[in-house]
Structure 1
């Protein structure tokens, strides 16, 4: 194999393994897995996993980052399609809901219990909240949405997203994260609709 083919295969194989890890972790969580078990599940060697990340903890963080990076692209693509401001906000929050739907309760429990991975989720939540604020500001600016204080709406959305992230919404309502984001989308869009 030439050096060029090896260099190309390296990143491709790394991406493939991360995608497989994402699928396993979303379905089953990650805390209970050992590197040996992961290597067996992914039909690779532990050294192959170490080529992706230097430890199980780093592997988890890399997979969680991969999940949220892919989710962000999908959410932004979906939010770009609608023609109206309200529809863009709804599409954005519903796309967040759809991206989180495959994640099991075990994944979210493990995420909350592992601070480096929890911070990846928290950072993505903050970014999503800022994005909603931008969408609200744009819609108010064009007159498509009722006059509203976009910073307040953004702050309120941030608080709800943080509560979803921390598990407080699930504890209070029995809604999983995906369902909670769908409810948030309906609430925000209804609240900003021009009468």
Structure 2
């Protein structure tokens, strides 16, 4: 997963800004953000609106900044998983495991709002597309290394992308999103690894 490469917000300049930003992230992950307003956040967090406006010019700017920050951390953790493994199969397994762990704080209501709001949907589409590209590259490397059976990578990657979207949209209600990512990783590896 990745964040929007065009997003270059100014660094949080003060401890108070960082405190408010972390409180917003925690609140979004727990309760969603579809009804976020600057007035409501200022009241709930006991801060001035000027502090909130230092995080973004509009409510959508603030939401987007928080989402980008969260998914940037997901990206950092999944990318670390890729670079810490020597083989494509181990890297692909580690990637799904890291994604599952990184997404643990994301509640169903948070993921629902990611999908149902325009600002969230744009961030979600960017991240899903980037995740699919990385998984595709790992599958291609695994085929070249003889670890994965010859397969139509385009079709398999599309199926993975559909499942990622389905999980993120709350379509898997029998388990947590984190467990669903783990199971998806097992399913993919079980289906494409030579000798399994």
Output the TM-score relative to the length of structure 2: 0.83
Where does structure 2 lack aligned partners over 5 or more consecutive residues?
A: 1-9
Q: How far apart are the structure 2 equivalents of 1:146 and 1:39?
A: 55
Structure-2 residue corresponding to 1:154: 157
What does 1:53-72 correspond to in 2, within 5 Å?
53-72=56-75
The answer as to whether partners of 1:125 and 1:165 remain within 8 angstroms in 2 is: no
The answer as to whether partners of 2:12 and 2:55 remain within 8 angstroms in 1 is: no
Distance 1:58 1:107, change over 3 A: same
Where does structure 1 lack aligned partners over 5 or more consecutive residues?
A: 1-6
What's the secondary structure of 1:138's corresponding residue? helix
What's the secondary structure of 1:44's corresponding residue? coil
Q: How far apart are the structure 1 equivalents of 2:90 and 2:147?
A: 10
Structure-2 residue corresponding to 1:165: 168
Greater helix proportion: 1
Choose 108-117 or 123-132, whichever is displaced more. 108-117
Bigger Cα Rg: 1
Structure-2 residue corresponding to 1:80: 83
Q: CA RMSD in A?
A: 2.3
Q: How far apart are the structure 2 equivalents of 1:135 and 1:14?
A: 39
Output the TM-score relative to the length of structure 1: 0.84
Q: How far apart are the structure 1 equivalents of 2:176 and 2:68?
A: 21
Match 2:146 to one of 123, 136, 143: 143
The Cα of 1:175 is off from its aligned counterpart by: 2.7
Match 1:121 to one of 124, 142, 154: 124
